Amino acid sequence: MRPTVIANNSTEAAELEIFASDPDVTLDVTNLDLSRLPQHVKAVLSTNAEAFNAPQLQTSGGIYAPHATSLDAPQLQTSGNITARRATTFSAPQLQTSGNITAHLATTFSLPQLQTSGHIEANSATSFSAPQLQTSGGIIAPKISYSQPARRATVPAPPAADRRAP
């Protein structure tokens, strides 16, 4: 079990930087103004707050915000697992790589830059967009209907030497 370190608004910037740079720590940021976070965080961020708004966060070891009704990380590019089960709004438009994403209540799920992820759980999504997604552990979005263009199997013609006249 990883140790949890609590940071709040009285935590010194240098101390916050040290905690945030430790990939073996869970950093409880429930009582921290998230704009104080460094741009690059190796720790897993955890909060019991009703909103997760980290405007400058670019990388994180993960985000655990199970009570947040909104998750907004406009600069986030890389993250470990992201858990925001109660978030009805989920915004991470720059996210390219992530672990599992759990956002059960998000109705609109738009990750235009996402290329690689673990499992994505978007159980309430009525709109789902991840046009750059190349690798995923799987997507659970039961309210979305998927359609794929029909594919035709093409078999190349045999070389001219193998063709026989009737």
The whole domain housing 39 covers: 4-144
Tell me the C-alpha distance between 109 and 121, whole Å.
10
Q: Is residue 138 part of a domain?
A: yes
Quote the pLDDT of residue 36: 97
Residue 39 is assigned to a structural domain of this protein: yes
Count how many Cα atoms sit within 13 Å of the Cα of residue 6 in the half-sphere of its side chain.
Answer: 5
Report pLDDT digits (tens) over 122-159: 999 998 889 999 999 999 989 886 544 443 333 444 45
Question: Residue 56 in 3-state DSSP?
Answer: coil
Q: What is the pTM of this model?
A: 0.86
In a domain, 154, yes or no: no
SS3 content of the chain, % helix, strand, coil (to 5): 10, 30, 60
| Residue 151 lies inside a defined structural domain of this protein | no
Arithmetic mean of pLDDT over the chain: 89
Q: Per the domain annotation, does 162 fall within a domain? A: no
pLDDT exceeds 80 at position 44: yes
Q: Is 8 inside any structural domain?
A: yes
